[in-house]
Amino acid sequence: MAIEELARASDDLERIEVQLLLEAIYQHYGFDFRGYALGSLKRRLWRRAIGEKVETLSALQDRVLHDPAVMERLLLDLSINVTAMFRDPTFFRAFREKVVPLLRTYPFVRIWNAGCSTGEETYSLAILLKEEGLYERTRIYATDINDRVLERARAGRFPLERMRDFTANYLRAGGQEEFSAYYTVQGDEARFTDELCSQVVFAQHNLVSDAPFNEFNVIVCRNVMIYFGKTLQDRVHELFYDSLDQLGILAMGHKESIRFTRYEDRYEPLDAQEKLYRKMY
């Protein structure tokens, strides 16, 4: 068999193994990763296979199905947890300047931070809204597929060494206070104040399979859908559209877009560069 044919056969076998593993995870645990972008997914699956000291994805499937602890470790690998407070400071500046004035017209504000990971973005939103005098009449629903990262988010504790970068982002995002006023130092950790947690509900939610659970004035989901395939992106866009109230705001990451979705004409840009859109009908 020629080298090219061997390579194709190997690729086909790997694709079958990936499909079987994802189907097994869905059937046994209820987590649906079948619509995720294949390239990123394969890298993460092989990372866990190496971590579990198995040589094939079929062997990883056996471990996952018979050992829930392996599934928990794989879930951490498959979840996207790269984040920082006030990440992309220009986004938070635009949110402060263009979204906050609209939120002032509501007696109560409901925000969904979808894919909140370990909570950095959620606490950033809480600080911004507090400085704008809106936090006391806001409820932030922060959700993620991964219970482990939600536990870390609820704790509000972050490595002290990260505070320098967080502070720099905060200042570039238009912060109005001393950033250190929002946390206390406990050993090598910074713990954000209970006041910043008071209006946040952290809960598990799977964007792939779970239904809408409320109606929101704002949905913030940034740098999550870039890891999804087109079919899954369309499904999540439908979920967000159905979850936004009239004139609600959708906030996405810089590399994400509503273009080429069936909802493209149902939004108007508040800030196209910062991916802030308002639902029109």
Q: Are residues 176 and 230 in the same domain?
A: yes
Q: Are residues 93 and 12 in the same domain?
A: no
The reported pLDDT for the residue numbered 7 is 57
Using an 8 Å Cβ cutoff, are 179 and 126 in contact? no
Q: Answer with the one of 51, 78, 105 that is the final residue of a domain.
A: 78
Does 97 fall in a domain? Answer: yes
Q: Are residues 204 and 70 in the same domain?
A: no
Q: What CATH number is given to the structural domain containing 182?
A: 3.40.50.150
The reported pLDDT for the residue numbered 169 is 97
Domain interval for residue 74: 3-78
The reported pLDDT for the residue numbered 162 is 95
The reported pLDDT for the residue numbered 247 is 96
The reported pLDDT for the residue numbered 40 is 81
The reported pLDDT for the residue numbered 92 is 98
For the chain (281 residues), the mean pLDDT of every run of 10, in chain order, is: 60 91 88 80 92 95 94 81 87 98 98 95 98 98 92 95 96 96 96 94 91 95 87 92 97 92 95 97 89
Q: Are residues 232 and 204 in the same domain?
A: yes
Beta pairing, strands 200-204 & 138-144: parallel
Using an 8 Å Cβ cutoff, are 159 and 127 in contact? no
Q: Are residues 98 and 21 in the same domain?
A: no
Does 84 fall in a domain? Answer: no
Does 83 fall in a domain? Answer: no
* pTM of the entire predicted model: 0.82
Q: Answer with the one of 78, 109, 127 that is the final residue of a domain.
A: 78
Q: Are residues 111 and 43 in the same domain?
A: no
Q: Answer with the one of 78, 99, 122 that is the final residue of a domain.
A: 78
Q: Are residues 121 and 66 in the same domain?
A: no
The reported pLDDT for the residue numbered 146 is 87
Contacts of residues 58-63 at CB distance under 8 Å and 24 or more positions apart, as own/partner, are: 58/17, 58/20, 58/21, 60/21, 61/17, 61/20, 61/21, 61/24
Q: Are residues 40 and 153 in the same domain?
A: no
